[in-house]
Amino acid sequence: MSSSAVLTWRQGDRLSLTIESLCDSGDGLGRVEGRVVFVPDTVPGDRIQAKLLQVRSRYARAELEGVLEASPDRIRPACIVADKCGGCQWQTVDYPAQVEAKTVIVQDAMQRLGQLETEVQPTIAAPYPLGYRNKVSYPLRRSDRGEVQAGYFRKGSHRLINLNQCPVQDDRLNPLLAGIKADIAARDWPIYDEQTRSRGLRHLGLRIGQRTGEILITLIATDDQLPEVEAQAEQWLTDYPNVVGVCLNLNPSHGNRILGDETHCLAGRPYLIECLDDLEFAIGPETFFQVNTEQAERLLPILKDFLRGSDRLFDLYCGVGTLTLPLASEVGSVLGLEILPESVVQAQQNADRNGISNVEFRAGAVEILLAQIPESPDAVLLDPPRKGCEPAVIEVLRDRQPQRIAYVSCNPATLARDLQALCAGDRYRLLLVQPLDFFPQTAHVETVALLELQD
């Protein structure tokens, strides 16, 4: 194809190309006459036929029409609906190739977005590429035949792919999925319809303590008008011995938000117990906790080795103390800051549960609290949400100049942006960028970066 032909690409055109790499979106990337083409459901090394869906001056997006020559890294997916379900992107990619791709994704973010010339370490692979998720939230729908369905949405749509098991979730949750759907159908509880905005059940949440086996069931509904729901909750405690609690979360709002602000315990207790680093954590329906317990335990030694011996550690965006409490034994004292008051309450309860007394937690916006604290820490742990740190947090840290900063991120793009700001003017030296695969079968990657104040 000549370069003049490239300039006349139009939606609907077909072309053949070889996939070179995987992107942070999960799509495969190939090139034709210098123009980048993004194609989902592809594997590096695939020679494919694709149909153009969107054409821009420097790139195009296409859909896969056929694999002309399969990559050696293309495998049969573990899930029978992997080609339809939007829950995973990479089940057709052999796991070592997934791990390698995540290293490249982080390296690209550091260089292209952060302008940081640093070597990214090889991604630490997960010991279990399947069955690793300790938390799932399934949208609920009623089929045209009246069946209760739970699953994930078809790629690029709101059409539900009904599941009775999922190879990515902890397999101890699989028996509950079909059974709970059948019980909901038998009770004839209403199911929320996003088109008509009718009242009823919206989501089914399942959570398991991978170290303890304790399971928490959460029904998410528009209101509490579910006949005999307490009796059914008690029955689930009997039917499933590992279930320690059943909760009802109320979310009357419209939109994509899963959980509402109000949760009631219907039976048992409103939390499960999970163990991490020989500590016990109480985890409720709304609690943020790493979905991959095994990989969280592989992150901790990196943080401990780097922060050990610090006199005063600030844990910014501390959540319920998931990282705060394991680090407390390695430092003089820890102050955790977190915007959600309920998380701060849980963090203190988790500290008390484990007899940890050298920690303090405060609730409020991190950028405001941090600016109000007069003393400067000698070490800081950052673990912000996907959007990264607020600019004011970066500004305060550059002003206070803690000796060491550890930054844990689930978004390479915002990590690169924030590292560039922290290191500007050679204020900090970037010692390590270490990806860890917390999310096998998907394009998501966790990364820890270690920084040291320049002399």
Ranges of each domain in the chain: 13-74, 97-128+292-453, 135-276
pLDDT 10s digits, 104-125: 999 999 999 999 989 999 999 9
Query: What's residue 1's pLDDT?
Result: 42
Q: Answer whether 411's CB lies under 8 Å from 24's CB.
A: no
Say which residue the tokens 């993004």 belong to: 38
Which CATH topology does 97-128+292-453 take?
Rossmann fold (3.40.50)
Q: For the chain, which ranges sit under pLDDT 50? A: 1-6
Query: What's residue 7's pLDDT?
Result: 56
Q: Answer whether 359's CB lies under 8 Å from 328's CB.
A: yes
Q: What is the pTM of this model?
A: 0.93
Query: What's residue 231's pLDDT?
Result: 98
Half-sphere exposure of 76 (CA within 13 A, CB side): 1
CATH code of the domain occupying 135-276 = 2.40.50.1070
CB atoms within 10 A of CB 437: 25
290 assigned binding-site residue: yes
Q: Are strands 333-338 and 312-316 parallel, antiparallel or unpaired?
A: parallel
CB atoms within 10 A of CB 306: 21
Query: What's residue 455's pLDDT?
Result: 80
pLDDT, mean over the chain: 94
Look up 23 and say whether it is catalytic. no
Name residues whose C-beta falls within 8 Å of residue 251's C-beta, 6 or more positions apart in sequence: 202, 220, 221, 222, 257, 258, 259, 260
Query: What's residue 260's pLDDT?
Result: 93
Q: Active-site residue among 166, 389, 410, 423?
A: 410
Query: What's residue 3's pLDDT?
Result: 42
Say which CATH superfamily domain 13-74 falls into: Nucleic acid-binding proteins (2.40.50.140)
367 assigned binding-site residue: no
pLDDT 10s digits, 23-44: 999 999 999 988 999 999 999 9
Please check whether the two domains, 13-74 and 135-276, share a CATH topology. Answer: yes
